[in-house]
A and B are shown apart, each in its own frame.
Chain A
């Protein structure tokens, strides 16, 4: 396991900017994280639910309800949507944050961001065009729909998408760079609003009415840094918990 006091596990510090395979991460022991990996194996933000105010509790806990069927996307679109969400957020196995359903819900309810690029259609149309465009590119390159592609193939397509370089088919009806911004922002907002993602990154979550007494800072073990309920990040002391069965 890499030494977390160095930054050698961070993509920009690694050859080619590639992320380290997550098999170095400890398995979550408390609570749930996406794919049960994370840096805070003994931290569960939901342990503090009793300190949250009612309004916040209602909004956050609703995200843990089992997701219902899609309301905005059609059954034809569903596999492409799921494949895109999985690739962009690197969720390759259960438990997954139900990003596809969360995005679908926002679009169905018309909860949009409040701006639209002049060279783009409405966000809802953008989503449908993007899914069609992904299938178009996948079919040209790999003779199968986007959902049928292997993970590496999907990553290659998304990488082109992120750089605004896809053309042909539905892409010609969009400014591809703007389309990337529209869809990825919505996926990120969904994923990082979910308490499982907070567990993974060690975020303290809602803090009202409790607030914070200890404002963080250097001196890793000092009382100045963490509240009693916050758990320190993983160290390399417990190799038994490391998931070594992680084969991509």
Chain B
């Protein structure tokens, strides 16, 4: 549909082939279909078994179920009953996070836990903030264009229709988007809170353009999903069903089309036929110390998040794969990326009460691409955020305050507004997920993540911190507090054109196992400065389309290498 009609019909269009919004119950937040969904026996060879009911896994399941595939999702965490399980409270939301132990190391260890991934049906998007920007076309060719990072084996045109479809499904609300590949959103922008308005004022004075959104939050009503009530607890799970997560956007439709989500089941290994080298299915346990079961399947897809996907591959040791599945060329777990996510807060004479409205409000991608004048490759985006009290305490602490000084800054909470950046940090082979010696209660080795920043990364972070601090000063902030942090893991099983340098091919199919796919953020070769969830969903949507048509199983070397369309397709 042309841009003109998308503008005229804003807020009135729904996605095709996904009825999730109508299947939801107006009076209950439970996932409809939990009690009536299909059940498959372990020895019944289903068409596809997916590990992880998160952003990638849920979209893949929903799409293929629509094509008549019999799909089982193995999910480590629980089936949520949001009315009872989720609370409007920071500390009380601890059960949403993946809090099983992980070891962190390297020169710049990344703190995981609540800030990184979720555990349960719906995955991390249950408690993600809700920003849903697209990657830019330039993200897919950073090596060719800037001499850094890696080129993707696919081009922007491969993703674009899926971006549009997923944006209609979430649905995304925001102003017309001038950056990257310019586009419009299906829903109008949300009203802006007082705190974010103050920040926009400063940005404008610095000559920086900011736009409202893009957020996967209903503005208006959307089927049986109500309008956002601006309560500000998006990172604690939306009890309203206004914020998009697979729990409301894809799983209702998936369950209605024959998908079984097997919750509280931890996948322990992908079982490989030693004769043919094909995957037989996934071995899992229903409780720690419990018996191991094997769900048989024609195809296997892993979508367990950038830490757990490499961990599962590495733990799947067999005669054919003595150092972990797909790891005979030592690529699994490498090139794990995060984004720099420094936040800085400013103080004003009047009360702003930043706890109101969704934390994601307005953003800018003006600094996204390389500008040689800045002295480093690639760039960053700017987004407003708004920590609740515990998050604010961590912010104040990071600036070096505790005791009486901390209490003083905390009492001043209502006078502050916070702005953050997302820096594109470059992939590096030694930033890696490996297995630690320690095991978890299932007897599975736990993951270890090593992370060290490079010089380009540090230069990018320093420059962007100055830009957002300037914004605060331009808006006449009276005091400034800064926290350096990281967000958004991606990579660890990247896709590429050559088996020596990647784990999966252009169709996200493992080079080493013909019927194994990877369907989450682990496959991304670079991460740009955009939050990843929309791209993870769009990639899964594309993968599903290609699996359904058989194109993803194409053994033709050209098809596996990708980039069959002209490279020019990346640029407009």
Binding site for B on A (CB under 8 A): 4-7, 9-13, 17-22, 25, 38-39, 52-53, 55-56, 59-60, 87-90, 111-119, 155, 158, 162, 184-185, 188-193, 197-198, 200-204, 206-220, 224-226, 230, 232-233
Contact B109 A118 (CB under 8 A): yes
Question: How many angstroms between the C-alpha atoms of A219 and B353 in the bound complex?
Answer: 12
Contact A158 B351 (CB under 8 A): no
Contact A59 B114 (CB under 8 A): no
Question: How many angstroms between the C-alpha atoms of A151 and B84 in the bound complex?
Answer: 44
Contact B229 A39 (CB under 8 A): no
Contact A208 B240 (CB under 8 A): yes
Question: How many angstroms between the C-alpha atoms of A117 and B85 in the bound complex?
Answer: 30
Contact B89 A56 (CB under 8 A): yes
With A10-B347, A118-B104, A216-B352 as given contacts, are A18 and B113 in contact (CB-CB < 8 Å)? no
Residues of B near A225 (CB, < 8 A) are: 194, 350-351, 353
Question: How many angstroms between the C-alpha atoms of A55 and B478 in the bound complex?
Answer: 39
Q: With an 8 A cutoff between CB atoms, is B86 at the interface?
A: yes
Residues of A near B348 (CB, < 8 A) are: 218
Give the segment of B92-100, B144-152, B283-291, B556-564 that binds chain A. B92-100
With A118-B448, A162-B400, A219-B350 given, can you name 14 additional A-B contacts, CB distance below 8 Å? A6-B349, A10-B479, A11-B401, A21-B404, A89-B407, A113-B114, A185-B397, A189-B91, A200-B410, A204-B356, A207-B233, A216-B354, A217-B350, A230-B353
Question: How many angstroms between the C-alpha atoms of A21 and B397 in the bound complex?
Answer: 19
Interface centre among B83, B89, B407 (most CB of A within 10 A): B407
Question: How many angstroms between the C-alpha atoms of A193 and B393 in the bound complex?
Answer: 11
Question: How many angstroms between the C-alpha atoms of A118 and B450 in the bound complex?
Answer: 9
With A7-B479, A215-B230 as given contacts, are A19 and B407 in contact (CB-CB < 8 Å)? yes
26 residue pairs A–B, Cβ–Cβ below 8 Å: A5-B350, A10-B412, A17-B405, A19-B407, A25-B411, A53-B83, A56-B88, A89-B403, A89-B407, A112-B101, A115-B103, A117-B109, A118-B105, A118-B109, A191-B393, A200-B407, A203-B389, A203-B413, A207-B231, A208-B231, A211-B240, A216-B194, A216-B195, A216-B354, A220-B351, A224-B194
Q: With an 8 A cutoff between CB atoms, is B143 at the interface?
A: no
A34 to chain B, nearest CB (A): 8
Residues of A near B195 (CB, < 8 A) are: 216-217
With A193-B90, A220-B351, A233-B414 as given contacts, are A11 and B409 in contact (CB-CB < 8 Å)? yes
Question: How many angstroms between the C-alpha atoms of A5 and B87 in the bound complex?
Answer: 34
Residues of A near B411 (CB, < 8 A) are: 25, 38-39, 200-202
Contact B232 A207 (CB under 8 A): yes
Residues of B near A17 (CB, < 8 A) are: 405
Contact B230 A211 (CB under 8 A): yes
Give which listed residue, A87, A185, A198, A230, contacts B403 with CB less than 8 A: A87
With A19-B403, A87-B403, A215-B356 as given contacts, are A113 and B113 in contact (CB-CB < 8 Å)? yes
Q: With an 8 A cutoff between CB atoms, is B406 at the interface?
A: yes
Q: With an 8 A cutoff between CB atoms, is B209 at the interface?
A: no
By beta carbon, the residue of chain B nearest A123 is B101
A207 to chain B, nearest CB (A): 4
